[in-house]
């Protein structure tokens, strides 16, 4: 009797040691997935909502945070706030461009590249990420052409080069297509969901959230250590924006 108990104990010890040495471990809260939604421009309100949601997800040891995204772009500062939170996150973030007909343009492309998992629904698109500059309010086009064309050209080059370096860094971090990332900044090109998957811009095409979670079950995500997602029996919670979002949107 004691011999059988000792053998079982030894097997458990060896199993724990093997998991520790492999650097891959399942998440403890493997049955909870949260879904945050950004629909519209990336703004201070949406950045605040996402960052707060991600912080709560970390505190509650959520398995996965899905960012459901449909955006034409938005503010650079808000985009970078979201990306910084994703890069520092202890919870995997899957950005999912959905539903069909949605897009991850401009700032949305950077967010997609920064995420641990990048997915798109059919009939969605990604790209057109060239920084946009605007002339001062009230300045006629002709005056701008005469007085500021050289200065604006120099500024545009700086903005574009900075954006290229930023998105290439994200691409290299996540193992995604860095050359296309640069092209979408310099040439404002876009890709369909199918082409994005084929060209190594994204990781998955999913018809809906359930289909995405099915594909992600058993998928390994790189954080500080490898994390194996366990999503077979998942409790999905949609996180509302709340009053704070409404206040910041005013």
Parse the chain into domains and list their residue ranges: 22-128+191-249
pLDDT at 250: 75
What is the pTM (predicted TM-score) of this model?
Answer: 0.82
Q: Name the pairing type of β-strands 93-97 and 64-70.
A: parallel
pLDDT in tens, the chain (250 residues): 555 545 665 666 565 555 555 544 444 444 799 999 999 999 999 999 999 999 999 999 999 999 999 999 999 999 999 999 999 999 999 999 999 999 999 999 999 999 999 999 999 999 999 987 534 444 455 555 655 666 667 888 899 999 999 999 999 999 999 999 999 999 999 999 999 999 999 999 999 999 999 999 998 888 865 677 878 778 999 999 988 888 888 7
Give the span between the Cα atoms of 138 and 208, in whole angstroms. Answer: 46
Instruction: Give the CATH number of domain 22-128+191-249.
Output: 3.90.226.10
pLDDT at 249: 82
């Amino acid at each position: 009797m004691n011999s059988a108990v000792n053998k079982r104990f030894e097997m458990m010890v060896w199993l724990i040691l093997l998991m520790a040495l492999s650097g891959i471990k399942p998440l403890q809260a493997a049955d909870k997935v949260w879904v945050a939604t950004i629909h519209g421009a990336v703004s201070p309100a949406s950045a605040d909502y996402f960052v707060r949601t991600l912080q709560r997800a970390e505190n509650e040891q959520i398995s996965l945070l899905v960012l459901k995204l449909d955006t034409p772009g938005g503010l650079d500062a808000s985009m970078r706030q979201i990306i910084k939170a994703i890069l520092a996150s202890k919870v995997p973030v899957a950005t999912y461009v959905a539903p069909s007909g949605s897009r991850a343009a401009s700032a949305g492309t950077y967010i997609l590249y920064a995420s641990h998992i990048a997915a798109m629904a059919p009939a969605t698109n990604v790209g057109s990420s060239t920084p946009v500059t605007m002339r001062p309010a009230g300045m006629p086009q002709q005056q701008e052409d005469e007085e500021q064309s050289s200065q604006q050209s120099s500024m545009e080059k700086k903005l574009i080069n900075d954006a290229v370096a930023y998105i290439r860094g994200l691409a290299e971090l996540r193992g995604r297509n860095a050359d296309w990332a640069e092209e979408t900044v310099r040439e404002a090109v876009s890709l369909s969901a199918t082409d994005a998957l084929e060209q190594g811009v994204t990781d998955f095409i999913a018809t809906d959230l359930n289909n995405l979670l099915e594909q992600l079950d058993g998928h390994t995500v790189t954080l500080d250590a490898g994390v194996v997602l366990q999503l077979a029996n998942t409790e999905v919670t949609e996180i509302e924006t709340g009053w704070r979002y409404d206040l910041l949107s005013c």
